[in-house]
Every structure is written in C-alpha cells, then in structure tokens.
Structure 1
Amino acid sequence: MKKPIYILILFAIAGVFAACKKQQLMTYNAPDNIYFFYKRNNVRLDTMDFSFAYSPLSVTDSIVKIPFTITGVPVNNDREFVVTVDPSSTAKPGVNFVLPDKFVLSAGKLVDSFSIKLIRTKDLQTNTLSLRLNLNANNNFQIALKDIASAPGVNALSFKINISDVLNQGSFWSGVYSTYFGTFSVKKLRLLNQVAGMPLDYVINGIYDLNLNARCAFWAISMSRYLKDQQNAGTPVYDEDGTLMVMAPSYQ
C-alpha cells in the first residue's frame, strides 16, 4: 500500500523541479526605459551648474558629459534615443551650445553619457543662461520613469544646465575658505590665483582635497606676505569695497 504514496511523492518532486526549470528559462520582457543619471558627491540631481569663470580667458568652449542609464539588459548593438531642447531654455543652439548629431547608447552598456559643447559668449559675464534637455520616447526606449524612489523630487526625464561666466564664492567659502582668506571678493580670488597660485576652481572643487588645510594655509600665508609687501612699498591693495585687502585674522 505504501508504493503508490512513494510514486505520488516522486511525481510531486519532479513537478517542483520542472517548475523551477521553467522559471530559470524565463527572460526579461518589459519595455526598456531611459532616464538621466547625473550625480554630484554621490547625490542624484537634475541640474548642473557650469561656469567658464574658473577657466583661463583663452578657453572659448568646453565639453560637458551628461550621464544617463536604462532599465533592462544590455544588447550587442548601438541604440539611438531622442533628446529635445525645452522651450524654457534661454541658451541658444549654435550660439551658446552645440548638441551631438545623434544620441546613442553604446552596445553592451546600461549606463552611458553624451557630450554637449558649451560656448563661451560675452553675455555669460552678466547673465546666467539655461539649457533644459528632455528625453523622449522612441522605438528603443520608453520614458515611464520620471520619478525615482531613491531620489525624491528629482526629475529623471529632464535635465537643466545653468551656464555662466561669473566667479562666485561657491557653497563652501563661508564655512571653510573664509577661515583662511577672510571675506570673499572676485578681486581677492583672482589675486589668490595670480599671486599665490591657487586654482580658480579650488573654491568649488577643493573641498574634497585631503590636503586642503595645508594648501589653503600656504596660499593664505603667501598672499598675506604679498599684501604686506605692497603696503610697505606704498602701493596698498584695496578690495572691491574700498577697504584694505586682508586674509583671515589667523593669517594676517
């Protein structure tokens, strides 16, 4: 009487293995979606701020790369996608920027980027222009992922670039650099570059430098000596507000 029970158990086990085998053979069959994938300091953003002011005056254009990614699996051929310029953009095509002739996700990739040429024009010294790019659906990719759970508030299908040519103190001057260089001014920043050798873009990128303390202390001391030498020679350096230019109290 036990034999039929054993047979039933064997059939059940065989059924489980068959089901597992079928599951293993299942393939991905959902539409592929494309979305922007820009990060700064490991934080997802839908806006990039770009300034020519941190480049030498001889620089007339610059290339920026815009990263993007897709859902799905890699394929062994290139796939084109569609990007359009939003009407709200104040930057003008051919004048302030040049887009690629076509937008392509390279074969075998899930994450890629495309390049945009930004052009340095005189109006950027007084105005910040914006370029907003929108992803559009085509035969290769859908655009159903506007909102990403891991980045609330970030628009994954639209990306904005703010373009300027104006030096500013960035996000870290008041909390970090002011302890070395004192109050910010464009004139002071340019002198720090010319006299002490501090790169103009250090105020926005130097915060991630492991040697920040040593470098900033050296630049502040070098600049302070220069300012004192100028004052002793009867040619004091005045800041933009008409006061004597000085470093932070610890470096005067």
Structure 2
Amino acid sequence: MQLNMWCHYQIRKLIFKTKKVIMKKILILSILLCSLFGLTSCDKEEIETYKATDNIYFPLAVFPAYNNGPLIDSTGFSFSFDKASITGRVYMLPIRVQGKVSAVDRKIKVSVDPASTAVLGTHFSLPENIVLHAGKEIDSIPVTVKRTLDLKDKSVTLVLNLEENEFFTVNMKDKVTNVLTQKKINYTRFKLTFTDKLMQPISWQTGTFGVFTAKKLFLMCDLMNLEPEMFNLPTTAPGLSIPEVLYYGSFMKRYLADQKANGNTIYEEDGKEMFFP
C-alpha cells in the first residue's frame, strides 16, 4: 500500500515537472516570436518613413533658437541700435528638411507673400538660387535687408512662403497653439519685420532704468562701454543678469547726481532732466 502511494506521488511529481518545463518553453518561444514581430514592424516603419516625401519647413516653429526659448514663425529687428555706417544686414533664416539627407544640392522654392509690405529690390533681396546644400538637414536662407531712409519713419514686413517643387513637399502647414483663440503657428510661412525707428529694447528694465529714451540708452552705453543692441536680446543673454542690470542703473544714478552737483545737469532731448530711479 505504501509502495503504491509512493509510486503515485513520484508519477504526479514527474508530470508536474514536465508540465512546468513545457510551459517555460512555451513562454520563451512566445517572447521570441513577439520580439521577432516587433523587429519586423520596426523595419517596416523605417522603410515607410524613408519612402515618405521630404518636407521643407522653418524649424524655429518647431525647435527654439535657444534653451527654453519660444517657438516662433515671425521675428523682427531695428537698425536703430547699429552704427550709422551700417547700411544693411544679412538675416540667416533657418530651414530644415523632414526626411532624408541628399548627396547633392537641392533647390528650394520660396515666394514672397502678397501680404509683404517690404519691397523686393528696395528693402530686401534674396539669392537667385536658394538651396539645401548637399549633406545637410539644416541650412539657411540669406535674406539681405537694406537700411533705407524710409525705415526711419516706419516698419516693413517681409513674408516668405515655402512652396512645393520637384525636391520637396510642404505638408507641414500649421498647428493650433491656442484652442480658445485658435491662434496658429505656421511651419512654411515666416514673417520678418524690420525698421530703423528706435524703439524700447525688449530687455529694457523700466524699474531700474526708468522711462526709455534714446539719449539715455546711448549715454549709458558710452559711459560703460556697452553695446546698445545687447538690450534688445533676451534677458538671459550675457551682460543682462539681474546683478549687472542693477549695477548699470546704480552707476547711471550716481553719474547723474555727480554731474548735477558739478553744475552739469544732464537733460533729455525734450528738455526734461534725465532720471534713473
């Protein structure tokens, strides 16, 4: 009796071990099959992506120009911070391809939008042939901007559109960035606004420098050997940290007080005494 029970126990134990081994093999086989299927799917996706059309677009709408910077489809600048000898600038407008890199130069079709107020030949010029150079995923369009006399009194805007040609498609059109206002950012349309009017720089700190005036800006720059255009850069730019800005304001406040004490009060163009808080 005991022998029979022992035999039954051993047989059941053997069956259990056999089932366990079989289940383990099935599990391993399943994992291998899934992995193989996954690799096959990836290969298929890569092939489909490779065969897709090459989209050309303005990357500043997708990738910020600097860390934590905004995504933009427009920008602008003023010649007013430049020396009088400066007669123009070349603005390098980034472009990028979503697709394969080519071993040859590829032409890019660019058109001037009718909404532009900048006049071709008067306010700006473009290269005769605009290309994405061989081996490049990212390139740029050199836009030559001219410092004309009429820019002293107004701003003009150049609107450029990327268009489809034999090398590129323009399937990346725009994206809604604000559901409430339906504001969009455009990937194939870019606005460049420029002027020669002196406007308050984007990093002018009213609490430290007071009301903006051209005379105040240029006097501060002359006294401390600063470049006026630095104040038109983001506040994260070199020379615009909080301690540095506070130092500029403190220096100017002491300078004006010293000049006044010596009988040389500094006045603004409108006749009012220059003031730093």
- TM-score where L is the length of structure 2: 0.74
Paired letter, 2:264: T
Deviation at 1:34, TM superposition (A): 1.0
| 1:29 corresponds to 2:63 | no
Quote the Cα distance in structure 2 between the aligned partners of 1:19 and 1:202: 53
Residues 32, 206 of structure 1: CA spacing in aligned structure 2 closer, same or farther, 3 A cutoff? Answer: closer
1:180 pairs with 2:208: yes
1:1-252 matches, within 5 Å, as 24=43, 27=47, 28-38=50-60, 39-41=64-66, 42-148=69-175, 153-173=184-204, 177-205=205-233, 207-209=235-237, 212-248=241-277
- Cα 1:57–1:200 change in 2 (3 A) is same
Structure 1 residue 128, shift from structure 2 partner: 0.2
Structure 2 counterpart of 1:153, which letter?
A: K
Secondary structure of residue in 2 paired with 1:243? coil
Unpaired segments of 5 or more residues in structure 2? Answer: 1-28
In 2: Cα distance, 1:60 partner to 1:232 partner: 41
Which deviates the most, 224-233 or 193-202?
224-233
Asked if the contact 1:197–1:219 (Cα under 8 Å) also holds between the matched residues in 2, the reply is: no
Q: CA deviation at 1:119?
A: 0.9
Structure 1 consecutive aligned stretches of length 4 or more whose deviation exceeds 4 Å:
16-23, 148-152
C-alpha contact 1:50 1:162 (8 A) present in aligned 2: yes
Three-state SS of the structure 2 residue aligned to 1:143 is coil
Alignment-mate amino acid for residue 95 of structure 2: F
Report if aligned partners of 1:196, 1:223 keep a CA contact under 8 Å in 2.
no
Per-residue CA deviations over 1:142-166 (Å, capped at 9, x if unaligned) read 1111124789711111111101112
Deviation at 1:21, TM superposition (A): 5.6
Gaps of 5+ in 1: 1-9
What CA distance in whole angstroms lies between the structure 2 residues aligned with 1:20 and 1:156? Answer: 33
The answer to whether the 8 A contact 2:202-2:233 is kept is: no
- Relative distance call for 1:225 and 1:109 in structure 2 (3 A) is same
Is the partner of 1:214 in helix, strand or coil? Answer: helix
Contact 2:55–2:168 (8 Å) recurs in 1: yes
8 Å CA contact 2:176, 2:184 repeated in 1:
no
Cα deviation code 1:99-149 (max 9, x no counterpart) = 012111112222221111111111111100111111111000111111247
Q: How far did residue 81 of structure 1 move?
A: 1.0
Deviations 1:201-233 (A, max 9, x none): 222216114652333233323323332343234
In our comparison, the structure showing a higher alpha carbon Rg is 2
- Other structure's SS at 2:248 match: helix
Question: 2:177 touches 2:185 (CA, 8 Å); kept in 1?
Answer: no
CA offsets per residue over residues 164-192 of structure 1, 9 Å max, x none? 1122223343xxx2232122122211211
* Corresponding residue SS for 2:217: helix
Query: What percentage of residue pairs aligned between the two structures are identical?
Result: 32
Aligned length: 235
Amino acid at match of 2:202: S
